[in-house]
Amino acid sequence: MRNFCEASDIRLERQQAPPTLKESNVTTFQHQKMASMGPSPGMGPVMVLSKWLSALIRFVPLEGHLVVVAVIVVVVVIVWLTSFFMSFFSPQKRYTKPHQCTHVHKKTDAKTQRQTGREAQLSNIQAAMAVANIIRTTLGPQSMLKMLLDPMGGIVMTNDGNCILREVDVSHPTAKSMIELSRAQEEEVGDGTTSVIVLSAQVLSQAEPFLMNKYHPTVIVQGYTKALAYALEVAEKIAVSIDVSKDQEWVSKLVMSSIGTKFSSRWNEKLVDMAIQAVLTVTETSASGMRRVDIKRYAKVEKIPGGELDDSKVLKGIMFQKEMTHSKMRRRIENPRILLLDSPLEYKKGESQTTMEITDDQDWNTMLKLEEEYVERMCQEIIALKPDVVITEKGVSDLAQHYLQKANITAFRRLRKTDNNRVAKATGATIVSRTEEISESDIGTKCGLFEMRKLGDDWFCFLEECEDPKACTIILRGGSKDVLNEVERNLQDAMQVVRNVVYDPKLLPGGGATEMALAVALRKQGQSLQGTQQGPFMAVGDALEVIPRTLAQNCGVSVIRTITELRAKHAAAAAVAAESDPSSTNSKPCHIGVNGITGDLIDMNELGIWEPFSVKVQTIKTAIENACMIL
């Protein structure tokens, strides 16, 4: 410690004292030595700078070493970065290979793909097959239900093709076209939404080998169009005509076939009777003999959670959820006189903002008296016709309720327009817009019983025992909303089936028998064709076999053995029919199809599986025409 202090004092004295001659000479010599240390050839700037600084450090006092080191680090980093960027952006290095700079990269959206020609056609076929594979397992009585989560967070559990595809979000245009196909089938005939998707995808898939063999799409479409026309001719000849009013057993079998593939098949008899009763109730026959069935407008389904499905029924009248406007009004009336209004029973308000300026206190009383007199006059005009029930689509003021209750009249307000139309159809009443125009002919007298009943937590108005009602309400009871929603979809399909038969009373065998018969007829007819259209013509027959094949797959039986045996039986029946009638160009098909429960082959007459002619024809037409459009 002592030696260190002495050394520090000596260094301090040397710094303060002027340099002597000897020290001056030494310093001059050292500067000359440093000046002689120039950059050698081939040394980089960093090495030269390092050498200069290292020599400088030897002659710097101890206190300045840290500062010098920091300066060195900063300078070295700056010099190194400068040399790096100069070498990177050097023109000689950048353009040594000009051909490498000719490729231009464009930023493209990952979701945007442009396809043309054969690639686009094959992509369309794959998209159609992908959509069909979603609902392929929902075909037939052994089908499986799909559990979906809708955008609102609710659960949809169904095996209805249209309902499933409605919840699917796709971006491919062909897939969207297939989903739209199912919606069109639902709106047109109400059934066959799964079959049309599966068949359309199969028809498209049959076109793939022709496209790979350089067939022009126009040739394929022409072959498909000829096959469609011939298939419709064959279907027309094998159809069975019935009389809806007399052949109730056939209609029951028909509805049973539709509901048998649904979730509610365990309540077959109940739903079949409900569907037939509802459709026959709303069926109207015009003077010219034309029938009109409007299920959507005049047959409403009311779903009330609770109870059992066996408690469901079709009312011979109307039911709606409304409470009476006054608690003391009558709750049960036999043979009521019903008046329907679409005008308010209250003082008429201005359509826009109205400002009244009152200067005298008597004017205010006069204005209130005028309002009361206006409401009283309307009520007196209603009371004059002695109705028992008054239903309006607008509001009923407290004063009007008072006058109607004193006259022993039950009133309902703010009924929906659609419900009011159904009440008018069922009771024979006429909806009136102004109370001044009410006449005796506007009063509905066809209702046998009016009664208020409580179902669950809500009060419902029942207008039952109507005389020849042309509107009805279907009450569905069940354990949960999901069950009720699925039963409603199944019941809607069943009613659509009955409606189709009312319009076109012809049937075709189900279970894939019709499709296999058409396939055999198309193959036989295709052998007589010449040219490039023969292949696409016969390919439609192969595509029609997808329906019995899918039924067999969902049953879990051997698909190859079942389809081969079914094809052989239909071909044998066609050969026998051709031998017995050689002049006939068409073979008479048999009614053997696939039993959707066991997978066995059975005659559809014995099993009682029939389908409406309009549904089957619409399915085939829509599927083939959609395939032609996509190609």
Same domain? For 453 and 335 the reply is yes
Give the pLDDT band of residue 157 (cuts 50, 70, 90).
confident
- In this structure, are strands 291-293 and 601-603 parallel, antiparallel, or unpaired? unpaired
Among 47-56, 134-143, 463-472, 559-568, where is mean pLDDT lowest? 47-56
Is pLDDT above 70 for 497?
yes
Same domain? For 284 and 330 the reply is no
Residue with more model confidence, 617 or 60: 617
Same domain? For 545 and 610 the reply is yes
Share of the chain above pLDDT 70, in %: 82
Taking the C-alpha atoms of residue 297 and residue 419, their distance in angstroms, rounded to an integer, is: 9
How large is the greatest C-alpha to C-alpha distance in the chain, in angstroms?
144
Any domain includes 74 = no
The total of structural domains in the chain comes to: 3
Same domain? For 128 and 227 the reply is yes
Residue with more model confidence, 447 or 50: 447
Q: What CATH number is given to the structural domain containing 537?
A: 1.10.560.10
Same domain? For 142 and 222 the reply is yes
Same domain? For 401 and 518 the reply is no
Q: What CATH number is given to the structural domain containing 480?
A: 3.30.260.10
Average confidence score pLDDT of the chain: 82
Any domain includes 45 = no
160 given a catalytic annotation? yes
Query: Could you say which of 442, 493, 514, 622 is catalytic?
Result: 493
- Render pLDDT for 14-24 as a digit per residue (tens, 0 to 9): 444 444 434 44
Residue with more model confidence, 485 or 424: 424
Give the pLDDT band of residue 67 (cuts 50, 70, 90).
low
The dihedral formed by the CA atoms of 131, 137, 140 and 143, expressed in degrees to the nearest 10: -140
The confidence score (pLDDT) of residue 121 equals 86
For the residues 314-332, what does the mean pLDDT come to? 92
On whether the CB atoms of residues 428 and 337 are closer than 8 A, the answer is no
CA distances from 357 to 362, 363, 371 (A): 13, 10, 17
SS3 at position 499: helix
Structure tokens at 531: 């040219």
Query: Could you say which of 138, 158, 160, 562 is catalytic?
Result: 160
The confidence score (pLDDT) of residue 52 equals 61
- Give me the sheet containing 299-305, strands edge to edge: 299-305, 472-478, 313-314
Any domain includes 231 = yes
Residue 283 domain boundaries: 248-301+476-504
The confidence score (pLDDT) of residue 24 equals 40
pTM of the model: 0.71
Same domain? For 516 and 616 the reply is yes
Any domain includes 407 = yes
Which of residues 466, 496, 530 is at a domain's end? 466
Same domain? For 126 and 267 the reply is no
Distance of CA 52 to the CA centre of its chain: 80
Any domain includes 471 = no
562 given a catalytic annotation? no
Is pLDDT above 50 for 504?
yes
Which residues contact residue 113 at a Cβ distance below 8 angstroms, ignoring those fewer than 6 apart? none
Query: Could you say which of 194, 325, 392, 619 is catalytic?
Result: 194
Same domain? For 414 and 337 the reply is yes
Any domain includes 64 = no
The confidence score (pLDDT) of residue 8 equals 41
Q: What CATH number is given to the structural domain containing 456?
A: 3.50.7.10
Same domain? For 179 and 253 the reply is no
Is pLDDT above 70 for 582?
no
Query: Could you say which of 174, 193, 392, 427 is catalytic?
Result: 193
For the residues 451-478, what does the mean pLDDT come to? 91
Is pLDDT above 60 for 158?
yes
The confidence score (pLDDT) of residue 357 equals 82
Among 72-76, 179-183, 412-416, where is mean pLDDT lowest? 72-76
For the residues 233-242, what does the mean pLDDT come to? 90
- CA proximity to 429, closest of 319, 531, 339: 339
Give the pLDDT band of residue 546 (cuts 50, 70, 90).
very high
Is pLDDT above 80 for 213?
yes
- Render pLDDT for 354-383 as a digit per residue (tens, 0 to 9): 777 888 878 888 888 888 999 999 999 999
First-to-last C-alpha distance (Å) of the chain: 101
Any domain includes 28 = no
On whether the CB atoms of residues 571 and 520 are closer than 8 A, the answer is yes
The total number of residues shown for the chain amounts to 631
504 given a catalytic annotation? no
- Render pLDDT for 26-37 as a digit per residue (tens, 0 to 9): 444 444 444 444
Same domain? For 342 and 457 the reply is yes
Any domain includes 258 = yes
- Render pLDDT for 587-614 as a digit per residue (tens, 0 to 9): 455 789 998 888 899 898 888 888 899 9
Is pLDDT above 50 for 100?
no
Taking the C-alpha atoms of residue 612 and residue 255, their distance in angstroms, rounded to an integer, is: 9
225 given a catalytic annotation? no
Same domain? For 617 and 485 the reply is no
Taking the C-alpha atoms of residue 150 and residue 166, their distance in angstroms, rounded to an integer, is: 10
Distance of CA 1 to the CA centre of its chain: 93
